[in-house]
């Protein structure tokens, strides 16, 4: 086994375990009568090429990668509505199988690029043949529209080697605002539909009583 395989193996294990646990939460909601806050869950371990680029950019040695790079392992939780993000965050905060080290709210305070998401850095314990190893994992919680925007922006950043032309950056910023407005509008529509359903049920109940 080479040094990269040895280093990243527990991170791959952590990602797979967290995906199973979070998908389990989604399934529990689906089996209940409650709205499911989790639309889907994905995860990945950072590719070696990306690790090397980040390490070179930040002047991090191989020996300090695990301490200095917090997103070697990443799990993404995608929701339908902005309100679902807070529900998911509260579910994560209540868990006892890992420790939250840091939270970053890029929804209230978006990045200059227009990026929006809620990040949590956790210490996740992985059981290995050498004993327990606590590793850092980055959890990202975002809506479908935030995820769509971030996916396109990431592919463009890769295409332009990190230097997106200014005119495209401005258009991406406008697209980010449009995506956020879409989230807000969909939340309003959902609330109006729920209220209409509530009134309809109340009317039917009233008629049944009579």
> What is the distance between the alpha carbons of residues 175 and 184, in angstroms, rounded to a whole number?
14
| Predicted pLDDT at 144 | 96
Tell me if 208 is assigned to some domain.
no
| Predicted pLDDT at 121 | 97
Domain that holds residue 127: 3-196
pLDDT bracket for residue 199 (50, 70, 90)? confident
Per-residue tokens: 199: 């009134």
Tell me if 179 is assigned to some domain.
yes
Per-residue tokens: 75: 């799990």
Give tens-digit pLDDT for 33-60: 888 999 999 999 999 999 998 999 899 9
> What is the distance between the alpha carbons of residues 51 and 128, in angstroms, rounded to a whole number?
23
Per-residue tokens: 90: 């509260």
Tell me if 81 is assigned to some domain.
yes
Model confidence at 208: pLDDT above 70: no
187: CATH: 3.30.460.10
Cβ-based burial of 141 (10 A; exposed 0-12, middle 13-18, buried ≥19): buried
Tell me if 137 is assigned to some domain.
yes
When divided into structural domains, the chain yields a total of 1
Tell me if 210 is assigned to some domain.
no
User: In degrees, to the nearest 5, what angle opens at C-alpha 140 toward C-alphas 49 and 136?
Assistant: 60
Tell me if 150 is assigned to some domain.
yes
Tell me if 202 is assigned to some domain.
no
Q: What pTM did the predictor assign?
A: 0.87
Instruction: Give whole-number Cα distances, 3 to 7, 18, 128, 130, in Å.
Output: 6, 24, 16, 16
Determine the straight-line distance between the first and last CA of the chain, rounded to whole angstroms: 76
Give tens-digit pLDDT for 149-168: 999 998 888 788 778 889 99
| Predicted pLDDT at 46 | 95
Tell me if 87 is assigned to some domain.
yes
List active site positions.
138
> What is the distance between the alpha carbons of residues 79 and 141, in angstroms, rounded to a whole number?
7
Average pLDDT over residues 145-149: 95
């Amino acid at each position: 086994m080479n040094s990269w395989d040895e280093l990243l193996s527990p991170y791959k294990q952590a990602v797979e375990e967290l995906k199973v646990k979070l998908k389990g939460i989604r399934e529990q909601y689906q089996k209940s009568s409650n709205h499911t806050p989790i639309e889907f869950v994905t995860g990945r371990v950072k590719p070696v090429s990306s690790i090397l680029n980040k390490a070179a950019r930040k002047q991090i040695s191989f020996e300090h990668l695990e301490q200095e790079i917090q997103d070697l392992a990443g799990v993404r939780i995608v929701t339908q509505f902005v309100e679902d993000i807070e529900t998911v965050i509260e579910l994560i905060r209540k868990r006892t199988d890992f420790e939250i080290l840091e939270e970053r709210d890029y929804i209230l305070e978006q990045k200059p690029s227009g990026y929006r998401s809620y990040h949590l850095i956790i210490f996740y314990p992985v059981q290995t043949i050498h004993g327990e190893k606590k590793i850092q994992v980055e959890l990202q919680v975002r809506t479908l529209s935030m995820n769509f925007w971030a996916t396109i922006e990431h592919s463009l950043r890769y295409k332009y080697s990190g230097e997106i032309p200014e005119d495209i950056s401005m258009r991406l910023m406008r697209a980010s605002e449009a995506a956020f407005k879409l989230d807000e509008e969909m939340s309003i529509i959902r609330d109006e539909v729920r209220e209409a359903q509530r009134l309809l049920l109340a009317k039917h109940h009233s008629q049944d009583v009579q």
